[in-house]
Amino acid sequence: MPPRIAIDGPAGAGKSTLARRLAHRLGYLYVDTGAMYRALTYKALRLGVNLEHEGALTSLAESTNMELVPDAEGPRVILDGQDVTAHLREPEINAGVSLVARVPGVRARLTELQRRIAKKHPVVMDGRDIGTVVLPEAEHKFFVTASFEERCRRRWREMLDQGRAVSLNEVREQVALRDRLDSQRAVAPLAMAPDAVCIDTTHLDADQVLARVLAVIRGETGA
Ligand code: DC
């Protein structure tokens, strides 16, 4: 089995920045599992599938193929042969993805695809359930978090950078809703694995977070 590093945590905590940089540093493949849930949501919306309809979403997931192709900005997501990366941060997807991600049949299918990738490549995989469900045997597990206010500010700045006119209050509402849906769903909710190292990034920049994680991996420190 190639080496595996699992990174979980809530939206806006800095998981994907860390995962991308860590994968680059170690020469591992970065697997952004949130992007996979987003890609399936994109397909469902394109086909007019009702996001409340669990059976339809399960069939859709079972008949979907997905590949991740490494790229400087993070992986490109190839959905049934088509590159859909540019669509994955659209507002309709932000709003719908938690509904898709709560469906057990969807999770089973994407978990299978994620494990298949990890069998072939050394991976840094980020998501909500990687250390607990997808790769419970991962050599290293990190739970990355930050205060609610800081996570909202980061998401807000990110959206302004992308040219989206949105207020901090709107972002607060979106993040609170997503936190609630992600951590309260019945199957594979956001949770910290008992053997994960928790990193609070509220007062750390991206370099400091990476340095801490590398120190843990090299066995220099316990946290
Ligand atoms: O990390 P992100 O914002 O791209 O995640 C998008 C959504 O997918 C989010 O609502 C949580 C869900 N998700 C999940 O349930 N399990 C994962 N392993 C990754 C993401």
What pLDDT shows up at residue 159?
86
Distance CA 218, CA 12 (A): 26
In a 3-state reduction of DSSP, which class is residue 159? helix
* Sequence-separated (6 or more) residues with CB below 8 Å from residue 163: none
Looking at residue 97, its pLDDT comes to 93
How many angstroms is it from 100 CA to the middle of ligand 1? 10
Residues ≥6 apart with Cβ < 8 Å to 84:
39, 42, 43, 77, 78
Nearest CA to ligand 1 atom 17: 127
Mean pLDDT of the chain: 93
- What pLDDT, on the 0 to 100 scale, is given for residue 45? 98
Count of Cβ atoms closer than 10 Å to residue 91 Cβ: 11
Instruction: Using alpha carbons, select from 105, 127, 23 the residue that is nearest to residue 61.
Output: 105
Measured from the CB, is residue 42 less than 6 Å from ligand 1?
A: no
Distance between Cα 222 and ligand 1 center (Å): 27
For residue 157, pLDDT over 60 is answered with yes
- pLDDT of 26 > 60? The answer is yes
Rounded to the nearest angstrom, the distance between the alpha carbon of 218 and the centre of ligand 1 is 28
pLDDT tops 80 at residue 48: yes
Radius of gyration of the chain (CA): 17
Q: What residue's CA is closest to ligand 1, atom 6? A: 34
- For the entire predicted model, the pTM comes to 0.92
The model's pLDDT over 161-203, given as tens digits with 9 standing for 90+, comes to 888 889 999 999 989 988 888 888 888 888 899 999 999 999 9
Q: What is the average per-residue pLDDT within 100-129? A: 95
Residue of 33, 134, 151, 181 to mutate, ligand 1, most atoms within 8 A of C-beta? 33
DSSP state of 195: T
Choice from 103, 182, 183, 185 to test ligand 1 binding pocket (greatest atom count within 8 A of CB): 182
**Residue 30 beta carbon below 6 angstroms from any ligand 1 atom:** no
pLDDT of residue 221: 64
Q: How sure is the predictor about 216, in pLDDT bands with cuts at 50, 70 and 90?
A: very high
Distances in Å between the Cα of 2 and the Cα atoms of 135, 157, 202 are: 12, 36, 32
Indicate the helix (H) or strand (E) that contains 79. strand 76-79
* Closest of 38, 20, 37 to residue 29, by C-alpha: 20
Residue 158 — pLDDT band, cuts 50, 70, 90? Answer: confident
Q: Are 211 and 223 in contact (CB under 8 A)?
A: no
- For 66, phi then psi, to 5°, come to -145, 140
